[in-house]
Amino acid sequence: MPDLPKVSIIVPVYNADQYIANSIEQVLSQTYTNWELILVDDCSTDRSVEIINEYLQDERIKLYIQEKNGRAAKARNRGIDLSSGKYIAYLDADDVWMKDKLEKQVNFMEDKKIAFSYTEYEFGDEQANGTGKIVRIKDVLTYNKALPRTIIFTSTVMLNVEILGKDIIKMPDVPSEDTASWWKILRGGYNAYGLRDVLTIYRRPQVSLSSNKKVALWRIWNLYRNVEHLGIIRSSYNFVIWAFLATARRL
């Protein structure tokens, strides 16, 4: 039986002491075991590092501390630089994976020999209990199809480094860096393939940056105009569809 490919799991950490132990435990409980967990602390001022240190006896778990706060994109990019796996998977500290998430997604990517995959997910409450609201996805998502559909959720993504290389995976340091990153990969000629299985719960606290509608509107418009450099007509077209679909997902 061939060796299982290694998955590098990248977790940016910033003042996540109420979640980080659970994040580590859910990786430890995965049915897929050939992984490395790269935790990049972005100058936390709480007990995050102290909690992570309790798990470092497992040699698969690694902690790196940024010299200065640089936000999520820079933390993830450092994790990419330090990774050694064939695959990269992202996990945000407050999200939840199902126990077989890695196993199913690696098998999916190996079978299809693809570079980029993502899965369905369920909205959760503050305790990450599923609310029954599930985001359904497309089997194949191209660049043009992705522009008005921000359905690729960071904690569901898996990328094949051997196909993509690390440079294209690096996240730009802009607001909504994750969406900008997916579009960059898709614009490079790769497609995102959807695994139609709910393998992640997206925890939604009552007060969060993503719940600020004005901020969300500005971010997506900024991506269209100043990151993707789309014309005003194409930007407006995608923006209207995005606003409708984004609202529908959250109802």
β-bridge mates for residue 125, sequence order = none
**Of the given ranges (12-16, 29-33, 114-118, 130-134), which has the lowest mean pLDDT?**
130-134
Q: Phi and psi (nearest 5°) for 3?
A: -65, 140
User: Tens digits of per-residue pLDDT, 64-86?
Assistant: 999 998 889 999 999 999 999 99
Confidence of residue 123 (pLDDT cuts 50, 70, 90): very high
Q: Do you know the residue count of the chain? A: 251
Do residues 138 and 167 make contact, with C-beta atoms less than 8 angstroms apart? no
249, pLDDT greater than 90: no
Specify the amino acid at residue 184.
Answer: K
Give Rg (Cα) of the chain.
17
Dist. CA 117–CA 171, nearest whole Å: 17
The CA–CA distances, whole Å, from 54 to 44, 61, 71, 91 equal 16, 10, 24, 19
Give the whole-number percent of the chain exceeding pLDDT 90: 85
pLDDT at 1: 40
- The sign of the dihedral angle between the CA atoms of 109, 195, 180, 177 is negative
Q: What is the SS3 assignment for 204?
A: coil
Q: Which residue from 178, 49, 189 is spatially nearest to 118, judged by alpha carbons?
A: 178
What's the whole-number mean pLDDT along residues 174-179? 95
Eight-state DSSP code of residue 42? -
233, pLDDT greater than 50: yes
Do residues 223 and 179 make contact, with C-beta atoms less than 8 angstroms apart? yes
What's the whole-number mean pLDDT along residues 118-147? 92
pLDDT at 215: 87
Q: What is the SS3 assignment for 237?
A: helix
Residue with tokens 């089997």: 139
What's the whole-number mean pLDDT along residues 36-47? 96
209, pLDDT greater than 50: no
Q: Which residue from 33, 37, 6, 38 is spatially nearest to 109, judged by alpha carbons?
A: 6
pTM score of the predicted model: 0.93
102, pLDDT greater than 90: yes
